[in-house]
């Protein structure tokens, strides 16, 4: 067993959104302190810990002080600038290791990394110039989906295109370039697998969740997913293989498309706790937030066993205002404490808990 951080150690978290907030709460429960680093003074994570740095991600003096204050540093979002993570490597103990970001921040690098390990990904084509569009669309079929290779999230930075003209318009209007054009996958459903990998290489995997998106944003995650035992085992196998090839430490989310025959394509990976794992806080012995903290602290991983069935429902924009009126039996709420509600902004979630289906 690698050296475990003692109680009272400080976990540094880059990013101050809801994931940082929930990580901080879980860390406190285990007896750790957390220090949040985020440029935005209104970050929801600042509400739950007194230790914070409000500074840009390229402020080296602030980063150094943050590294000195932290016994281990982790991320709550994958778009931490590579230069920031690179600068912190050395002054800080970074978990997961910063090289993971170079894979997960670039859709093309990510797909290549996964495909090279023999795991199927969606058919795709790199679009670096306008000349790439016509052959790519011919090869992939129409419609297809044009995506920025970097900085996309919650359906942002991507557009469905049916013709070369539409793809060219997307090329000039979406930011930043370059792009990847993906064939439209005729999936039967979408699932995700959240797993934790410890410093010693041990893994703990949560049950697969079935995910439904609305306007490109996750709407619900339902567990158990409506998939066969074989498909579930294959998803766990793929996710475990990806984590081990990345020498990963922490919680990793892997999103899959499930085809009609039960086979799987990896859509994307997220090197952090994941929205489609928020159900774990309501129904698992150890939730994804505690699991991430345990992993990066060098502690033994917890028990991911699920004790009930659950549907996690995201509350987007003004839907958050309904929380007080929706607290029926079996509902566990989580509000992120964001000062301002905007359309498309994740404001909180509800976990709808029901008795466990026997055998599932």
Which residues in this chain contact ligand AMP in the complex, by CB under 6 A? 122, 145, 152, 155, 182, 184-185, 190, 213, 216, 255, 267-268
| Residue 22 near residue 321 (C-beta atoms within 8 A) | no
Q: How far is the CB of 183 from ligand AMP (least distance, A)?
A: 6
Smallest distance from ligand AMP to CB 257, Å: 7
Name the burial class of residue 43, with classes exposed (0-12), middle (13-18) and buried (19+) by CB atoms within 10 angstroms of its CB. Answer: buried
The residue (of 70 and 222) whose beta carbon lies closer to ligand AMP is 222
Minimum CB separation from ligand AMP for residue 4, in Å?
35
Closest to ligand AMP by CB, 213 vs 326, is 213
For 62-216, list the strands marked E by DSSP.
Answer: 72-75, 124-127, 144-148, 158-161, 179-183, 189-197, 203-205, 209-214
Residue 56 or 216: which CB sits closer to ligand AMP?
216
Residue 195 Cβ, how far from ligand AMP at the closest point, in Å? 18
Q: Minimum CB separation from ligand AMP for residue 157, in Å?
A: 8
A 10 A CB-CB count for 149 gives 21
- For ligand AMP, give the closer residue by CB, 52 or 349: 349
**Quick one: tokens of 241?**
């293989």
Q: Name 268's bridge partners.
A: 255
Distance in angstroms (rounded) separating the CA atoms of residues 216 and 343: 13
Q: Cβ 99 to ligand AMP, closest distance in Å? A: 22
Cβ at position 213, least distance to ligand AMP in Å = 4
Min separation Cβ 185 and ligand AMP, Å: 4
The nearer residue to ligand AMP, 255 or 309, going by C-beta atoms, is 255
* Integer Cα distance of 19 and 8 in angstroms: 21
DSSP annotation of 325 reads G
Token match 């060098």: residue? 298
Name the phi and psi angles at 243, rounded to 5.
Answer: -60, -40
**Residue 94's closest CA among 32, 192, 20, 14?**
14
How many angstroms separate the CA atoms of 180 and 101, rounded?
18
Q: Which is nearer to ligand AMP, 71 or 268 (CB)?
A: 268
DSSP 161-196: E-SHHHHHHHHHHSSSS-EEEEEPP--SEEEEEEEE
62/217 with CB nearer ligand AMP: 217
Nearer of residues 39 and 155 to ligand AMP, judged by Cβ = 155
């Amino acid at each position: 067993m690698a050296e475990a951080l003692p109680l009272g150690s400080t976990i540094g978290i880059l990013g101050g959104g809801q994931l940082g907030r929930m990580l901080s709460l879980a860390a406190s429960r285990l007896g750790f302190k957390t220090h949040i680093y985020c440029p935005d003074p209104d970050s929801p994570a600042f509400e739950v810990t007194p230790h914070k740095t409000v500074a840009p991600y390229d402020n080296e003096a602030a980063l150094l002080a943050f590294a000195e204050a932290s016994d281990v540093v982790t991320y709550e979002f994958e778009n931490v600038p590579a230069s920031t993570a690179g600068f912190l490597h050395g002054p800080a103990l970074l978990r997961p290791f910063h090289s993971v970001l170079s894979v997960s921040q670039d859709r093309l690098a990510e797909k290549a990394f996964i495909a090279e390990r023999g795991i199927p990904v969606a058919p795709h084509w790199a679009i670096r110039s306008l000349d790439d569009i016509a052959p790519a669309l011919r090869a992939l079929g129409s419609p297809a989906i044009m995506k920025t290779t970097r900085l996309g999230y919650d359906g942002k930075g991507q557009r469905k295109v049916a013709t070369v003209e539409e793809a060219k318009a997307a090329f000039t209007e979406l930011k930043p370039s370059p792009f990847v054009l993906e064939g439209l996958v005729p999936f039967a459903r979408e699932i995700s697998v959240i797993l934790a990998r410890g410093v010693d290489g041990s893994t703990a995997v949560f049950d697969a969740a079935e995910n439904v998106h609305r306007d490109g944003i996750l709407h619900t995650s339902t567990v158990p997913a409506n998939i066969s035992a074989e498909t579930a085992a294959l998803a766990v196998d793929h996710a475990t293989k990806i984590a081990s090839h990345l020498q990963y430490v922490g919680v990793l989310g892997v999103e899959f498309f499930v085809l009609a025959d039960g086979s799987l394509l990896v859509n994307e990976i997220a090197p952090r706790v994941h929205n489609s794992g928020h159900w774990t806080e309501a129904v698992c012995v150890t939730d994804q937030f505690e699991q991430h903290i345990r992993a990066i602290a060098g502690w033994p991983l917890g028990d991911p066993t699920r004790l009930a069935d659950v549907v996690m429902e995201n509350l987007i924009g003004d839907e958050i205002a309904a929380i007080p009126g929706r607290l029926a039996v079996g509902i566990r709420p989580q509000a992120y404490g964001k000062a301002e509600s905007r359309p498309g902004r994740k404001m909180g979630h509800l976990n709808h808990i029901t008795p466990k289906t026997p055998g599932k």
